[in-house]
Amino acid sequence: MAASVRIWTPCSAEAEMNRGEDQFGPVLDYETITPAGKDLSRAGGDDEAIRPPRSLKAQDELGGETLPFSHSESGAASAESGSKIEAHPSLEVADRGKSSEEIGKGEPWLARRGHAISYIGLFLFTAVLYFRPYEWIPAFSSLTSLAFWLAAFTLVVFIPTQFALEGNLTARPREVNFLLLFCLWALLGMPLAINPGEAWAAFSDSFIKVVLMFIVLVNVVRTERRLKGLMWLSLGVGVFLSYRAISDFQSGNLTVNGFRVKGALGGMFGNPNDMALHLVMMIPIAVALFFGTRNPVRKILYAACAALMTMAMVVTYSRGAFLGFVVSFLVLMWKLGRRQRFSVMAVALLVLLLFLIFAPGNYGLRLLSIFIPELDPVGSSIARRDLLWRSLFVALHNPIFGVGMENFHIVSSHELVSHNAYTQVAAELGFPALILYIGFIVAPLKKLWQIEQRTFADRRTSCFYHLTVGLQASIIAYMVSSFFGSVAYQWYIYYIIGYSIALRRIYIISQEAQDSAVKKSEASN
């Protein structure tokens, strides 16, 4: 009678140090998916190893038994022949391959290292895209095209490297297919646009960069270190924006409508609503990283990031961001408190009530204007309602190809945009494009949920569980908040979807590595 055994695999070196273990079992090498000896006394370089512990002290919550691991006698020998995982003779290892096969169905991820230079280019490009150093650092004032040249360099390195590694231009998870079809549909309808020149300019000047760098991200972010590097960069710009927003609010520097702060950085963060959208998407990730580490210093840092970004979101007075924050907060509490959901949700609702009570100024009145438009002192609520109906009218009268990318303002009132990402796509590119756009956003949710279910029992020792929960909440925050902003072609959601695909890839390959090691152990026994 076979006993069910779960093999514990931490997702980072941090988890090992937090456990206090001083010895570990053989390394499952990410590149070859076979056990290989490696020096564990130092950090694992660019691609972190997946390290099983020497022994599991606590039994699996689903009823599994502990499985001891032992080192090979010689590091050199293990490098040549592969380290062996020695299981207790009385135990038989249950087949766990079905989990990774189910989640990775149709996604033949190759477990190969590479793209180190491409990742550096992507990281630098993202840093320039976020922080725009040429706007506030005099030495960079003449380098306004720096992001373009970094993107070009990254693509020049990425394309031949990708072909050499995998023989194709990109991996093809469902999200990539949705996005490529979305681009094709936009191009097919371009000759029918009201202003084809303007539609082409919007596609070629900005959106194609989003698509290309998304493809780079999907293919080069292959390790936990790379994924967290980009996440920390996203959190870093959120913290910077939050600090400046709170400082401006305290000093009375309210330049938008007389009561709202403006983004400290231009571009995608210049508008307070767009800045608030980034913040509300980053808060769940900060919370996930908080719960995913046992390092007290990092816990304090992540908690401070989440608190700072929440306060900054408030001083933007963005109603759409607040709704996204509420929904994502409830999602986080529902998932993280799954064993005591009633108590956790009661506390969550109490926290939201206190949040509204102690919010500054007329924040509560601002939120009430969502339901009572007459309370809005600048009348933006009524204007957005009219734009919503106008964009739906345009979409229904142009259902196939729409009026052309970024052409809605031509048929709108007062040259205004739709202020709704969904009707923006429907009106400008047609309902087929809207289906592809929604499919692109929701596609990662199911597989993230599957990983969440698979890793719940290991949530105290693995980074996967909390990151999947955080990314789900972040995507849901965008889905709600983007109902109030024309952001369908901007960077916000594309980075989050890219992070979700990267996390899925890392998880699937780690599971395949475990399955390969188990099969070798069974064969040797």
SS3 252: coil
Rounded to whole angstroms, the Cα distance separating 106 from 103 reads 9
* pLDDT the model gives residue 156: 95
What does pLDDT average to in each consecutive run of 10 residues of the chain (525 residues)? 42 42 34 37 38 36 32 34 36 43 68 87 94 80 83 95 90 94 96 94 92 95 93 94 90 79 82 92 94 90 94 89 92 83 81 79 77 72 84 94 93 86 95 96 93 86 88 96 92 95 91 79 79
**C-alpha count within 13 angstroms, C-beta hemisphere, residue 74:** 5
**Which residue type, as a one-letter code, is found at position 370?**
I
Q: Is the pTM of this model over 0.85?
A: no
SS3 35: strand
Contacts of residue 108, defined as CB under 8 A and 6 or more positions apart, other chains included, come to none
* pLDDT the model gives residue 371: 77
Q: Which tokens in the block code for residue 18?
A: 């937090």
* pLDDT the model gives residue 2: 43
Rounded to whole angstroms, the Cα distance separating 70 from 74 reads 12
Nearest to 294 by CA among 99, 522, 517, 14: 14
* pLDDT the model gives residue 61: 34
Rounded to whole angstroms, the Cα distance separating 104 from 118 reads 24
DSSP bridge pairs for 27: 36
Q: Which tokens in the block code for residue 85?
A: 């995982």
Rounded to whole angstroms, the Cα distance separating 332 from 345 reads 10
Give the rounded distance of the alpha carbon of 174 from its chain centre: 16
Rounded to whole angstroms, the Cα distance separating 271 from 262 reads 6
Handedness of CA 129, 133, 134, 135 (dihedral sign): positive
